[in-house]
A and B are shown apart, each in its own frame.
Chain A
Amino acid sequence: MSGPIQIQPDETFILNIGPQHPATHGVLRIKMEMDGEYIVKAETVLGYIHRMHELMGENRTYPQVLPNLSRLDYLGAMGYTHCHVLAIERAAGIEVPERAEYIRVITVELNRIASHLFWFGAFVMDLGGFTPLMYAIQDREYILDALEGITGSRLTYCYHSFGGVANDIDDDFIKATRAIIPMMRKSLKKYEALVTGNIIFRKRLEGIGPISAEMCRKYGATGAVARGSGIDFDVRKNEPYSVYSDFDFDVPVYHECDSLARYMVRMDEMEQSLRIIEQGLDKLPDGPIMPAKKPKLIKPPVGDYYQAVETARGSFGIRLVSDGTKNAYRFKLRSPTYSNMSLFDEACEGMLLMDALAMLGSLDLVIPEIDR
Protein backbone atom coordinates (compact mmCIF):
# COMPACT_ATOMS: atom_id res chain seq x y z
CA MET A 1 0.00 0.00 0.00
CA SER A 2 2.80 2.36 0.81
CA GLY A 3 5.00 1.39 -2.16
CA PRO A 4 5.99 4.06 -4.62
CA ILE A 5 4.51 2.31 -7.67
CA GLN A 6 0.78 2.27 -8.01
CA ILE A 7 -0.37 -0.72 -10.07
CA GLN A 8 -3.59 -0.09 -11.92
CA PRO A 9 -5.90 -3.08 -11.50
CA ASP A 10 -7.20 -2.86 -15.10
CA GLU A 11 -3.83 -2.45 -16.72
CA THR A 12 -3.16 -4.93 -19.50
CA PHE A 13 -0.20 -5.56 -21.75
CA ILE A 14 0.33 -7.24 -25.11
CA LEU A 15 2.21 -10.51 -25.28
CA ASN A 16 3.40 -11.82 -28.60
CA ILE A 17 3.75 -15.57 -28.96
CA GLY A 18 5.59 -16.64 -32.07
CA PRO A 19 6.01 -16.66 -35.00
CA GLN A 20 9.10 -18.53 -33.81
CA HIS A 21 8.07 -20.27 -30.63
CA PRO A 22 8.44 -23.95 -29.78
CA ALA A 23 4.95 -24.21 -28.28
CA THR A 24 3.30 -23.26 -31.57
CA HIS A 25 4.99 -26.14 -33.46
CA GLY A 26 5.67 -24.02 -36.49
CA VAL A 27 5.40 -20.46 -37.62
CA LEU A 28 2.20 -19.35 -35.95
CA ARG A 29 1.80 -16.06 -34.15
CA ILE A 30 -0.69 -15.25 -31.44
CA LYS A 31 -1.14 -11.73 -30.13
CA MET A 32 -2.45 -11.84 -26.60
CA GLU A 33 -3.73 -9.08 -24.40
CA MET A 34 -2.76 -10.13 -20.89
CA ASP A 35 -3.93 -9.15 -17.47
CA GLY A 36 -1.09 -10.55 -15.42
CA GLU A 37 -1.07 -14.27 -16.15
CA TYR A 38 -4.60 -14.23 -17.54
CA ILE A 39 -5.55 -13.83 -21.19
CA VAL A 40 -8.03 -11.05 -21.84
CA LYS A 41 -8.11 -11.35 -25.61
CA ALA A 42 -6.21 -13.28 -28.23
CA GLU A 43 -5.79 -12.81 -31.94
CA THR A 44 -4.17 -15.42 -34.13
CA VAL A 45 -2.05 -14.16 -37.03
CA LEU A 46 -1.62 -16.64 -39.85
CA GLY A 47 0.08 -16.75 -43.19
CA TYR A 48 3.76 -17.11 -42.35
CA ILE A 49 4.00 -20.32 -44.34
CA HIS A 50 1.26 -19.68 -46.87
CA ARG A 51 2.17 -21.16 -50.27
CA MET A 52 -1.07 -20.83 -52.25
CA HIS A 53 -1.56 -24.52 -52.94
CA GLU A 54 -5.02 -23.73 -54.31
CA LEU A 55 -3.59 -21.63 -57.15
CA MET A 56 -1.03 -24.35 -57.87
CA GLY A 57 -3.99 -26.72 -58.08
CA GLU A 58 -5.43 -24.58 -60.86
CA ASN A 59 -2.18 -24.13 -62.76
CA ARG A 60 -1.11 -27.77 -62.80
CA THR A 61 -2.74 -30.91 -64.10
CA TYR A 62 -4.32 -33.31 -61.61
CA PRO A 63 -1.37 -35.74 -61.44
CA GLN A 64 1.06 -32.84 -61.16
CA VAL A 65 -0.71 -31.42 -58.13
CA LEU A 66 -0.74 -34.74 -56.25
CA PRO A 67 2.64 -34.19 -54.52
CA ASN A 68 1.38 -30.83 -53.23
CA LEU A 69 -1.19 -32.57 -51.08
CA SER A 70 1.42 -34.32 -48.98
CA ARG A 71 3.08 -30.95 -48.30
CA LEU A 72 0.04 -29.75 -46.41
CA ASP A 73 0.30 -31.98 -43.39
CA TYR A 74 3.73 -33.55 -43.32
CA LEU A 75 2.90 -35.77 -40.35
CA GLY A 76 -0.16 -37.45 -41.80
CA ALA A 77 0.42 -36.95 -45.51
CA MET A 78 -1.13 -40.23 -46.64
CA GLY A 79 -4.66 -39.18 -45.74
CA TYR A 80 -4.40 -36.02 -47.82
CA THR A 81 -3.24 -37.76 -50.99
CA HIS A 82 -6.00 -40.29 -50.37
CA CYS A 83 -8.55 -37.50 -50.43
CA HIS A 84 -7.16 -36.08 -53.65
CA VAL A 85 -7.24 -39.37 -55.54
CA LEU A 86 -10.73 -40.11 -54.21
CA ALA A 87 -11.98 -36.70 -55.33
CA ILE A 88 -10.60 -37.10 -58.84
CA GLU A 89 -11.83 -40.68 -59.07
CA ARG A 90 -15.31 -39.55 -58.06
CA ALA A 91 -15.27 -36.75 -60.62
CA ALA A 92 -13.73 -38.70 -63.48
CA GLY A 93 -15.52 -41.96 -62.67
CA ILE A 94 -12.41 -44.13 -62.31
CA GLU A 95 -12.95 -47.58 -60.80
CA VAL A 96 -10.48 -48.72 -58.15
CA PRO A 97 -9.61 -52.41 -57.59
CA GLU A 98 -10.46 -53.68 -54.13
CA ARG A 99 -6.92 -54.67 -53.29
CA ALA A 100 -5.73 -51.13 -53.96
CA GLU A 101 -8.36 -49.70 -51.61
CA TYR A 102 -7.30 -52.12 -48.87
CA ILE A 103 -3.67 -51.12 -49.32
CA ARG A 104 -4.69 -47.48 -49.18
CA VAL A 105 -6.57 -47.98 -45.93
CA ILE A 106 -3.67 -49.89 -44.35
CA THR A 107 -1.15 -47.21 -45.27
CA VAL A 108 -3.44 -44.37 -44.18
CA GLU A 109 -3.99 -45.99 -40.79
CA LEU A 110 -0.28 -46.67 -40.31
CA ASN A 111 0.36 -43.03 -41.10
CA ARG A 112 -2.36 -41.98 -38.66
CA ILE A 113 -0.60 -43.87 -35.86
CA ALA A 114 2.73 -42.29 -36.82
CA SER A 115 1.12 -38.86 -36.75
CA HIS A 116 -0.55 -39.44 -33.38
CA LEU A 117 2.71 -40.77 -31.95
CA PHE A 118 4.56 -37.64 -32.92
CA TRP A 119 1.77 -35.48 -31.55
CA PHE A 120 1.85 -37.45 -28.30
CA GLY A 121 5.56 -36.87 -27.85
CA ALA A 122 5.40 -33.21 -28.75
CA PHE A 123 2.35 -32.60 -26.58
CA VAL A 124 3.93 -34.10 -23.48
CA MET A 125 7.06 -32.11 -24.26
CA ASP A 126 4.92 -28.94 -24.28
CA LEU A 127 3.90 -29.82 -20.76
CA GLY A 128 7.49 -30.30 -19.64
CA GLY A 129 8.14 -34.03 -20.05
CA PHE A 130 10.88 -34.80 -22.52
CA THR A 131 11.27 -38.59 -22.27
CA PRO A 132 7.97 -39.70 -23.92
CA LEU A 133 9.00 -37.94 -27.13
CA MET A 134 12.01 -40.23 -27.42
CA TYR A 135 9.87 -43.34 -26.93
CA ALA A 136 7.27 -42.09 -29.40
CA ILE A 137 9.83 -41.26 -32.07
CA GLN A 138 11.40 -44.67 -31.68
CA ASP A 139 8.06 -46.41 -32.25
CA ARG A 140 7.25 -44.08 -35.13
CA GLU A 141 10.54 -45.04 -36.75
CA TYR A 142 9.34 -48.62 -37.29
CA ILE A 143 6.23 -47.37 -39.05
CA LEU A 144 8.20 -44.96 -41.24
CA ASP A 145 10.64 -47.74 -42.14
CA ALA A 146 7.78 -50.01 -43.18
CA LEU A 147 6.18 -47.26 -45.27
CA GLU A 148 9.51 -46.27 -46.79
CA GLY A 149 9.90 -49.79 -48.15
CA ILE A 150 6.82 -49.53 -50.36
CA THR A 151 6.48 -45.79 -50.97
CA GLY A 152 10.11 -44.74 -51.21
CA SER A 153 9.65 -41.76 -48.92
CA ARG A 154 9.46 -41.27 -45.20
CA LEU A 155 7.30 -38.21 -44.83
CA THR A 156 5.83 -36.65 -47.95
CA TYR A 157 4.32 -39.65 -49.64
CA CYS A 158 3.08 -39.71 -53.18
CA TYR A 159 2.00 -43.34 -53.05
CA HIS A 160 -1.70 -43.29 -53.85
CA SER A 161 -2.37 -42.63 -57.49
CA PHE A 162 -5.45 -42.30 -59.64
CA GLY A 163 -7.06 -45.71 -59.90
CA GLY A 164 -4.94 -47.45 -57.29
CA VAL A 165 -1.53 -47.30 -55.68
CA ALA A 166 1.93 -46.87 -57.20
CA ASN A 167 3.50 -50.15 -55.94
CA ASP A 168 2.09 -53.38 -54.68
CA ILE A 169 2.97 -54.27 -51.10
CA ASP A 170 5.54 -57.01 -50.61
CA ASP A 171 6.18 -59.66 -47.97
CA ASP A 172 8.66 -57.43 -46.17
CA PHE A 173 5.99 -54.81 -45.65
CA ILE A 174 3.43 -57.34 -44.42
CA LYS A 175 5.98 -58.86 -42.06
CA ALA A 176 7.01 -55.47 -40.71
CA THR A 177 3.41 -54.36 -40.26
CA ARG A 178 2.47 -57.60 -38.51
CA ALA A 179 5.36 -56.98 -36.14
CA ILE A 180 4.33 -53.36 -35.51
CA ILE A 181 0.87 -54.33 -34.21
CA PRO A 182 1.93 -56.20 -31.02
CA MET A 183 4.80 -53.79 -30.50
CA MET A 184 2.44 -50.79 -30.60
CA ARG A 185 -0.02 -52.48 -28.25
CA LYS A 186 2.81 -52.95 -25.76
CA SER A 187 3.92 -49.36 -26.25
CA LEU A 188 0.43 -47.99 -25.72
CA LYS A 189 0.32 -49.77 -22.34
CA LYS A 190 3.70 -48.27 -21.56
CA TYR A 191 2.49 -44.77 -22.43
CA GLU A 192 -0.54 -45.23 -20.28
CA ALA A 193 1.59 -46.21 -17.30
CA LEU A 194 4.19 -43.55 -17.97
CA VAL A 195 2.07 -40.54 -18.92
CA THR A 196 -1.71 -40.96 -18.71
CA GLY A 197 -1.71 -41.81 -15.03
CA ASN A 198 0.88 -39.19 -14.12
CA ILE A 199 -0.54 -36.86 -11.49
CA ILE A 200 1.27 -33.74 -12.76
CA PHE A 201 0.12 -34.46 -16.29
CA ARG A 202 -3.49 -34.87 -15.24
CA LYS A 203 -3.49 -31.73 -13.12
CA ARG A 204 -2.38 -29.73 -16.14
CA LEU A 205 -5.20 -31.03 -18.33
CA GLU A 206 -8.20 -32.17 -16.34
CA GLY A 207 -11.03 -29.67 -16.52
CA ILE A 208 -8.80 -27.23 -18.39
CA GLY A 209 -9.33 -25.78 -21.84
CA PRO A 210 -13.06 -26.39 -22.17
CA ILE A 211 -14.47 -26.44 -25.70
CA SER A 212 -18.21 -27.01 -25.75
CA ALA A 213 -20.02 -29.01 -28.39
CA GLU A 214 -21.89 -25.87 -29.44
CA MET A 215 -18.61 -24.02 -29.95
CA CYS A 216 -17.36 -26.91 -32.07
CA ARG A 217 -20.43 -26.63 -34.26
CA LYS A 218 -20.19 -22.86 -34.71
CA TYR A 219 -16.53 -23.10 -35.71
CA GLY A 220 -16.78 -26.35 -37.66
CA ALA A 221 -14.30 -28.22 -35.48
CA THR A 222 -13.82 -31.87 -36.39
CA GLY A 223 -11.53 -34.74 -35.52
CA ALA A 224 -10.33 -35.33 -31.99
CA VAL A 225 -11.37 -31.82 -30.95
CA ALA A 226 -15.03 -32.56 -31.68
CA ARG A 227 -14.82 -36.11 -30.33
CA GLY A 228 -13.32 -34.81 -27.08
CA SER A 229 -16.42 -32.61 -26.73
CA GLY A 230 -18.86 -35.48 -26.91
CA ILE A 231 -19.60 -35.28 -30.63
CA ASP A 232 -19.64 -38.72 -32.23
CA PHE A 233 -18.34 -37.61 -35.59
CA ASP A 234 -15.84 -39.44 -37.73
CA VAL A 235 -16.07 -39.21 -41.51
CA ARG A 236 -14.97 -42.84 -41.76
CA LYS A 237 -18.19 -43.83 -39.97
CA ASN A 238 -20.60 -40.98 -40.72
CA GLU A 239 -19.95 -40.77 -44.44
CA PRO A 240 -18.10 -44.00 -45.27
CA TYR A 241 -15.67 -43.75 -48.16
CA SER A 242 -13.11 -46.15 -49.61
CA VAL A 243 -13.62 -49.59 -47.96
CA TYR A 244 -14.01 -48.39 -44.38
CA SER A 245 -17.49 -49.87 -44.14
CA ASP A 246 -15.87 -53.35 -44.33
CA PHE A 247 -13.98 -52.81 -41.09
CA ASP A 248 -15.04 -53.24 -37.52
CA PHE A 249 -13.73 -50.37 -35.42
CA ASP A 250 -15.01 -47.97 -32.79
CA VAL A 251 -14.92 -44.20 -32.64
CA PRO A 252 -13.71 -43.09 -29.21
CA VAL A 253 -15.80 -40.23 -27.81
CA TYR A 254 -15.22 -38.40 -24.55
CA HIS A 255 -17.69 -36.00 -23.02
CA GLU A 256 -15.42 -34.02 -20.68
CA CYS A 257 -14.67 -31.28 -23.27
CA ASP A 258 -11.26 -30.62 -21.67
CA SER A 259 -7.69 -31.01 -22.90
CA LEU A 260 -7.44 -34.45 -21.31
CA ALA A 261 -10.45 -35.67 -23.29
CA ARG A 262 -8.75 -34.70 -26.56
CA TYR A 263 -5.62 -36.51 -25.40
CA MET A 264 -7.60 -39.63 -24.53
CA VAL A 265 -9.39 -39.64 -27.89
CA ARG A 266 -6.11 -39.75 -29.81
CA MET A 267 -4.59 -42.40 -27.55
CA ASP A 268 -7.66 -44.61 -28.05
CA GLU A 269 -7.67 -43.94 -31.77
CA MET A 270 -4.26 -45.56 -32.16
CA GLU A 271 -5.67 -48.83 -30.85
CA GLN A 272 -8.60 -48.57 -33.31
CA SER A 273 -6.20 -47.94 -36.18
CA LEU A 274 -4.29 -51.07 -35.16
CA ARG A 275 -7.53 -53.01 -35.34
CA ILE A 276 -8.20 -51.71 -38.85
CA ILE A 277 -4.68 -52.61 -40.00
CA GLU A 278 -5.01 -56.10 -38.51
CA GLN A 279 -8.30 -56.72 -40.28
CA GLY A 280 -6.96 -55.21 -43.48
CA LEU A 281 -4.01 -57.58 -43.57
CA ASP A 282 -6.24 -60.56 -42.77
CA LYS A 283 -8.80 -59.71 -45.43
CA LEU A 284 -6.40 -58.36 -48.06
CA PRO A 285 -7.80 -59.58 -51.40
CA ASP A 286 -5.66 -60.67 -54.30
CA GLY A 287 -5.84 -58.94 -57.61
CA PRO A 288 -4.48 -55.99 -59.51
CA ILE A 289 -3.54 -52.69 -57.88
CA MET A 290 -4.48 -50.62 -60.91
CA PRO A 291 -7.61 -50.80 -63.04
CA ALA A 292 -7.22 -52.44 -66.42
CA LYS A 293 -8.68 -49.44 -68.19
CA LYS A 294 -7.66 -46.01 -67.06
CA PRO A 295 -7.85 -42.79 -69.05
CA LYS A 296 -4.43 -41.56 -70.09
CA LEU A 297 -5.38 -37.96 -69.57
CA ILE A 298 -7.62 -37.24 -66.63
CA LYS A 299 -10.37 -34.82 -67.60
CA PRO A 300 -13.32 -34.90 -65.22
CA PRO A 301 -16.62 -33.78 -66.76
CA VAL A 302 -17.88 -30.26 -66.08
CA GLY A 303 -19.27 -30.02 -62.59
CA ASP A 304 -18.76 -29.41 -58.94
CA TYR A 305 -17.57 -32.20 -56.67
CA TYR A 306 -16.79 -32.58 -52.99
CA GLN A 307 -14.86 -35.30 -51.22
CA ALA A 308 -14.26 -35.54 -47.48
CA VAL A 309 -11.96 -37.90 -45.61
CA GLU A 310 -10.98 -38.30 -41.98
CA THR A 311 -7.31 -37.47 -41.64
CA ALA A 312 -5.31 -37.66 -38.43
CA ARG A 313 -6.46 -34.13 -37.63
CA GLY A 314 -10.09 -34.16 -38.65
CA SER A 315 -12.32 -33.84 -41.66
CA PHE A 316 -10.32 -32.80 -44.71
CA GLY A 317 -12.19 -31.93 -47.86
CA ILE A 318 -11.54 -31.03 -51.46
CA ARG A 319 -14.02 -28.99 -53.47
CA LEU A 320 -13.28 -29.44 -57.11
CA VAL A 321 -14.86 -27.31 -59.81
CA SER A 322 -14.04 -28.82 -63.17
CA ASP A 323 -14.48 -27.14 -66.53
CA GLY A 324 -13.71 -30.31 -68.43
CA THR A 325 -10.04 -29.59 -69.06
CA LYS A 326 -6.97 -31.27 -67.58
CA ASN A 327 -6.60 -28.51 -64.98
CA ALA A 328 -9.04 -27.77 -62.20
CA TYR A 329 -11.10 -24.59 -62.51
CA ARG A 330 -11.20 -24.25 -58.75
CA PHE A 331 -9.39 -26.40 -56.25
CA LYS A 332 -10.46 -25.66 -52.70
CA LEU A 333 -8.79 -27.37 -49.77
CA ARG A 334 -10.83 -27.51 -46.59
CA SER A 335 -8.26 -28.12 -43.88
CA PRO A 336 -9.32 -29.44 -40.48
CA THR A 337 -6.78 -27.61 -38.32
CA TYR A 338 -7.84 -24.30 -39.86
CA SER A 339 -11.29 -24.69 -38.36
CA ASN A 340 -9.97 -26.24 -35.15
CA MET A 341 -7.54 -23.38 -34.66
CA SER A 342 -10.14 -20.69 -35.38
CA LEU A 343 -11.93 -21.42 -32.11
CA PHE A 344 -8.78 -20.85 -30.05
CA ASP A 345 -9.22 -17.05 -29.94
CA GLU A 346 -12.58 -17.38 -28.25
CA ALA A 347 -11.83 -20.47 -26.17
CA CYS A 348 -8.70 -19.13 -24.49
CA GLU A 349 -10.27 -15.93 -23.17
CA GLY A 350 -9.92 -15.75 -19.40
CA MET A 351 -7.50 -18.66 -19.22
CA LEU A 352 -4.06 -18.78 -17.65
CA LEU A 353 -1.33 -18.52 -20.26
CA MET A 354 0.12 -21.91 -19.27
CA ASP A 355 -3.26 -23.59 -19.61
CA ALA A 356 -3.89 -21.96 -22.97
CA LEU A 357 -0.62 -23.35 -24.27
CA ALA A 358 -1.61 -26.80 -23.02
CA MET A 359 -4.89 -26.41 -24.88
CA LEU A 360 -3.04 -25.25 -28.00
CA GLY A 361 -1.04 -28.48 -27.87
CA SER A 362 -4.19 -30.55 -27.48
CA LEU A 363 -5.57 -29.11 -30.75
CA ASP A 364 -2.79 -30.96 -32.65
CA LEU A 365 -1.72 -28.18 -34.98
CA VAL A 366 0.33 -28.56 -38.12
CA ILE A 367 0.88 -25.02 -39.36
CA PRO A 368 1.58 -25.70 -43.08
CA GLU A 369 -1.84 -27.31 -43.15
CA ILE A 370 -3.54 -24.21 -41.70
CA ASP A 371 -1.78 -21.80 -44.03
CA ARG A 372 -1.79 -24.02 -47.11
Chain B
Amino acid sequence: MTMIKETVKLALQDLFPDPPPVVEEPVAEAAAEGDEEKKKPAKKKEEPRVNGVIERNHAEHGYDVDVQLEPGQLLAAVMILDRAGFFLESITGVDWIKEDQLESVYDFSRYDFDICRVVIRTRTSRSEPKIPTISKIYAGASWHERETHDFFGIKFDGHPHLIPLLLPEDADFHPLLKDFKP
Protein backbone atom coordinates (compact mmCIF):
# COMPACT_ATOMS: atom_id res chain seq x y z
CA MET B 1 0.00 0.00 0.00
CA THR B 2 2.69 2.45 0.82
CA MET B 3 4.94 1.20 -1.95
CA ILE B 4 3.75 3.36 -4.84
CA LYS B 5 3.17 6.31 -2.57
CA GLU B 6 6.77 6.32 -1.43
CA THR B 7 8.11 5.85 -4.94
CA VAL B 8 6.05 8.66 -6.38
CA LYS B 9 6.83 10.93 -3.46
CA LEU B 10 10.55 10.43 -3.91
CA ALA B 11 10.34 10.94 -7.66
CA LEU B 12 8.35 14.14 -7.22
CA GLN B 13 10.67 15.39 -4.51
CA ASP B 14 13.49 15.35 -7.05
CA LEU B 15 11.79 18.30 -8.75
CA PHE B 16 12.62 20.52 -5.79
CA PRO B 17 16.38 20.52 -5.43
CA ASP B 18 17.10 24.06 -4.17
CA PRO B 19 15.25 24.43 -0.82
CA PRO B 20 16.85 22.35 1.92
CA PRO B 21 14.06 19.76 2.30
CA VAL B 22 15.22 18.50 5.70
CA VAL B 23 14.62 21.86 7.32
CA GLU B 24 11.69 23.02 5.23
CA GLU B 25 9.50 19.93 5.30
CA PRO B 26 8.54 19.67 9.00
CA VAL B 27 7.60 23.35 9.05
CA ALA B 28 5.37 22.99 6.02
CA GLU B 29 3.85 19.85 7.42
CA ALA B 30 3.08 21.40 10.77
CA ALA B 31 1.31 24.28 9.10
CA ALA B 32 -0.59 21.88 6.93
CA GLU B 33 -1.51 19.35 9.57
CA GLY B 34 -5.00 20.62 10.23
CA ASP B 35 -5.45 23.22 7.57
CA GLU B 36 -3.57 24.41 4.61
CA GLU B 37 -3.14 28.11 4.47
CA LYS B 38 -4.13 31.03 6.68
CA LYS B 39 -5.51 29.33 9.73
CA LYS B 40 -8.27 31.41 11.23
CA PRO B 41 -7.08 31.84 14.82
CA ALA B 42 -4.12 34.21 14.58
CA LYS B 43 -1.61 31.38 14.63
CA LYS B 44 0.25 31.55 11.37
CA LYS B 45 -1.69 34.06 9.46
CA GLU B 46 -1.41 34.50 5.71
CA GLU B 47 1.69 32.40 5.38
CA PRO B 48 1.85 31.33 1.76
CA ARG B 49 2.60 27.71 1.20
CA VAL B 50 6.03 26.90 -0.12
CA ASN B 51 6.40 24.75 -3.18
CA GLY B 52 7.08 21.14 -2.41
CA VAL B 53 5.62 17.74 -1.64
CA ILE B 54 3.39 17.15 1.39
CA GLU B 55 1.97 13.84 2.49
CA ARG B 56 -1.66 13.99 3.58
CA ASN B 57 -3.80 11.79 5.74
CA HIS B 58 -6.15 9.97 3.38
CA ALA B 59 -8.97 9.55 5.89
CA GLU B 60 -8.95 13.24 6.67
CA HIS B 61 -8.46 14.82 3.26
CA GLY B 62 -9.30 12.11 0.75
CA TYR B 63 -5.93 12.18 -0.98
CA ASP B 64 -2.39 11.14 -0.19
CA VAL B 65 0.24 13.26 -1.88
CA ASP B 66 -0.10 17.00 -2.35
CA VAL B 67 2.37 18.77 -4.62
CA GLN B 68 2.63 22.46 -5.25
CA LEU B 69 4.96 23.59 -8.00
CA GLU B 70 5.77 26.28 -10.55
CA PRO B 71 3.96 26.08 -13.91
CA GLY B 72 7.33 25.34 -15.51
CA GLN B 73 7.71 22.13 -13.49
CA LEU B 74 4.23 20.85 -14.33
CA LEU B 75 5.08 18.76 -17.39
CA ALA B 76 7.94 17.01 -15.62
CA ALA B 77 5.69 16.10 -12.68
CA VAL B 78 2.86 14.87 -14.90
CA MET B 79 5.30 12.73 -16.87
CA ILE B 80 6.44 11.07 -13.65
CA LEU B 81 2.82 10.17 -12.87
CA ASP B 82 2.17 9.00 -16.42
CA ARG B 83 5.12 6.64 -16.27
CA ALA B 84 3.94 5.34 -12.89
CA GLY B 85 0.57 4.41 -14.43
CA PHE B 86 -1.73 7.01 -12.91
CA PHE B 87 -4.96 8.06 -14.60
CA LEU B 88 -6.25 11.59 -14.83
CA GLU B 89 -9.24 12.13 -12.59
CA SER B 90 -9.94 15.80 -13.23
CA ILE B 91 -8.52 19.28 -13.65
CA THR B 92 -10.02 22.34 -12.09
CA GLY B 93 -9.18 25.82 -10.90
CA VAL B 94 -9.48 27.89 -7.76
CA ASP B 95 -9.56 31.67 -7.71
CA TRP B 96 -7.49 33.04 -4.81
CA ILE B 97 -8.54 36.62 -5.34
CA LYS B 98 -6.99 37.91 -2.10
CA GLU B 99 -3.57 36.72 -3.19
CA ASP B 100 -4.24 37.82 -6.78
CA GLN B 101 -3.53 34.31 -8.01
CA LEU B 102 -5.29 31.58 -9.94
CA GLU B 103 -4.62 28.00 -8.99
CA SER B 104 -4.95 25.04 -11.28
CA VAL B 105 -5.52 21.70 -9.54
CA TYR B 106 -4.81 18.31 -11.13
CA ASP B 107 -6.20 15.13 -9.59
CA PHE B 108 -4.58 11.81 -10.34
CA SER B 109 -5.52 8.37 -9.13
CA ARG B 110 -4.76 4.71 -9.78
CA TYR B 111 -6.72 1.74 -11.09
CA ASP B 112 -5.12 -0.79 -8.75
CA PHE B 113 -5.61 -1.50 -5.07
CA ASP B 114 -2.62 0.61 -4.08
CA ILE B 115 -4.68 3.64 -3.03
CA CYS B 116 -2.71 6.74 -3.88
CA ARG B 117 -4.36 9.95 -4.93
CA VAL B 118 -1.96 12.64 -6.05
CA VAL B 119 -2.92 16.30 -6.27
CA ILE B 120 -0.76 18.69 -8.23
CA ARG B 121 -1.38 22.40 -7.88
CA THR B 122 0.25 25.25 -9.62
CA ARG B 123 -0.40 28.95 -9.33
CA THR B 124 -0.30 31.72 -11.87
CA SER B 125 -1.02 35.42 -11.79
CA ARG B 126 -4.61 36.56 -12.16
CA SER B 127 -3.85 39.20 -14.75
CA GLU B 128 -2.04 36.91 -17.16
CA PRO B 129 -2.94 33.32 -16.30
CA LYS B 130 -0.81 30.95 -18.34
CA ILE B 131 -0.09 27.29 -17.68
CA PRO B 132 1.34 24.71 -20.10
CA THR B 133 -1.11 22.14 -21.42
CA ILE B 134 -0.79 18.50 -20.41
CA SER B 135 -3.12 17.30 -23.17
CA LYS B 136 -0.11 15.98 -25.09
CA ILE B 137 0.58 13.55 -22.24
CA TYR B 138 -3.00 12.81 -21.14
CA ALA B 139 -5.37 13.16 -24.09
CA GLY B 140 -8.30 13.37 -21.68
CA ALA B 141 -6.92 16.61 -20.27
CA SER B 142 -8.12 18.41 -23.38
CA TRP B 143 -11.73 18.65 -22.22
CA HIS B 144 -10.81 19.38 -18.61
CA GLU B 145 -8.54 22.22 -19.69
CA ARG B 146 -11.21 23.67 -21.94
CA GLU B 147 -13.64 23.56 -19.02
CA THR B 148 -11.13 25.27 -16.72
CA HIS B 149 -10.55 27.89 -19.40
CA ASP B 150 -14.32 28.44 -19.60
CA PHE B 151 -14.75 28.92 -15.88
CA PHE B 152 -11.53 30.71 -14.92
CA GLY B 153 -9.97 32.04 -18.08
CA ILE B 154 -6.70 30.20 -17.52
CA LYS B 155 -4.88 29.92 -20.83
CA PHE B 156 -3.35 26.52 -21.39
CA ASP B 157 -0.28 27.08 -23.52
CA GLY B 158 -0.09 24.76 -26.49
CA HIS B 159 -3.65 23.46 -26.24
CA PRO B 160 -4.77 22.63 -29.78
CA HIS B 161 -8.41 23.65 -29.46
CA LEU B 162 -9.02 26.04 -26.58
CA ILE B 163 -12.60 27.09 -27.39
CA PRO B 164 -15.58 27.14 -24.99
CA LEU B 165 -16.83 23.66 -24.16
CA LEU B 166 -19.64 24.06 -21.66
CA LEU B 167 -20.32 27.79 -22.09
CA PRO B 168 -21.82 29.27 -25.27
CA GLU B 169 -19.40 29.43 -28.17
CA ASP B 170 -19.18 33.24 -28.01
CA ALA B 171 -18.80 33.43 -24.22
CA ASP B 172 -16.28 36.04 -23.07
CA PHE B 173 -16.94 35.73 -19.32
CA HIS B 174 -15.56 33.38 -16.68
CA PRO B 175 -18.28 32.61 -14.13
CA LEU B 176 -16.19 31.03 -11.39
CA LEU B 177 -13.93 34.05 -10.94
CA LYS B 178 -14.77 35.59 -7.60
CA ASP B 179 -15.32 39.04 -9.12
CA PHE B 180 -17.73 37.73 -11.76
CA LYS B 181 -21.01 39.66 -11.92
CA PRO B 182 -23.78 37.94 -13.85
| Chain A residues packing against B (C-beta within 8 Å) | 46-47, 50, 52, 54-55, 58, 87, 90, 216-220, 226, 231-233, 237-239, 301-308, 315, 317, 319, 321, 324, 329-330, 332, 334, 338-339, 342-343, 346, 371-372
> Could you pull out 7 A-B pairs where Cβ atoms are within 8 angstroms?
A232-B112, A233-B112, A238-B113, A302-B39, A304-B66, A306-B61, A371-B166
> Would you call B167 and A338 a contact (CB within 8 A)?
no
Residues of A within 8 A of B151 (CB): 54
Contact of A226 among B63, B111, B176 (CB under 8 A): B111
Contact of A332 among B85, B90, B115 (CB under 8 A): B90
> Would you call B61 and A305 a contact (CB within 8 A)?
yes
Report B146-182 CB contacts with A as 1/0, cut-off 8 Å.
0000010000000000001111100000011000000
**Known contacts A321-B94, A342-B142, A346-B139, A217 near B85 by CB under 8 Å:** yes
> Would you call B37 and A302 a contact (CB within 8 A)?
yes
Q: Chain B at the A interface: mostly helix, strand, loop or mixed?
A: loop
Q: How far is the CA of A371 from the CA of B166 in the complex (A)?
A: 6
Contact of A303 among B34, B143, B168, B176 (CB under 8 A): B34
Residues of A within 8 A of B85 (CB): 217
Contact of B107 among A232, A303, A334 (CB under 8 A): A334
> Would you call A315 and B140 a contact (CB within 8 A)?
no
Contact of B111 among A52, A54, A233, A339 (CB under 8 A): A233
> Would you call A342 and B143 a contact (CB within 8 A)?
yes
Q: How far is the CA of A55 from the CA of B180 in the complex (A)?
A: 11
Q: How far is the CA of A303 from the CA of B66 in the complex (A)?
A: 12
- Chain A residue nearest to B88 (CB atoms) is A220
Residues of A within 8 A of B12 (CB): none
Q: How far is the CA of A58 from the CA of B94 in the complex (A)?
A: 12
> Would you call B87 and A47 a contact (CB within 8 A)?
no
Query: B105 in the interface, Cβ–Cβ < 8 Å?
Result: yes
Q: Interface centre among B60, B66, B94, B140, by most A CB within 10 Å? A: B140
Report B94-132 CB contacts with A as 1/0, cut-off 8 Å.
110000000001010101110101010000000000000
Report B19-39 CB contacts with A as 1/0, cut-off 8 Å.
000000000000000111111
Q: How far is the CA of A315 from the CA of B119 in the complex (A)?
A: 17
Q: How far is the CA of A371 from the CA of B175 in the complex (A)?
A: 15
Using A58-B176, A220-B89 as known contacts, list a sample of 12 further A-B pairs with CB atoms less than 8 Å apart, ordered by residue number in A. A47-B167, A220-B90, A233-B111, A302-B36, A303-B36, A305-B62, A306-B63, A306-B117, A315-B89, A321-B94, A329-B94, A330-B176
- Chain B residue nearest to A334 (CB atoms) is B90
> Would you call B94 and A303 a contact (CB within 8 A)?
no
Q: How far is the CA of A120 from the CA of B168 in the complex (A)?
A: 33
Contact of A302 among B40, B107, B142, B168 (CB under 8 A): B40
Query: B92 in the interface, Cβ–Cβ < 8 Å?
Result: yes
**Known contacts A217-B85, A339-B140, A90 near B60 by CB under 8 Å:** yes
Contact of B176 among A50, A54, A305 (CB under 8 A): A54
> Would you call A307 and B176 a contact (CB within 8 A)?
no
**Known contacts A46-B165, A301-B35, A305-B61, A343 near B140 by CB under 8 Å:** yes
> Would you call A319 and B92 a contact (CB within 8 A)?
yes
Q: How far is the CA of A233 from the CA of B39 in the complex (A)?
A: 37
State how many angstroms separate the Cβ of A244 from the closest Cβ of chain B: 14
**Known contacts A220-B88, A226-B111, A301-B34, A306 near B164 by CB under 8 Å:** no
**Known contacts A218-B140, A233-B111, A303 near B61 by CB under 8 Å:** yes
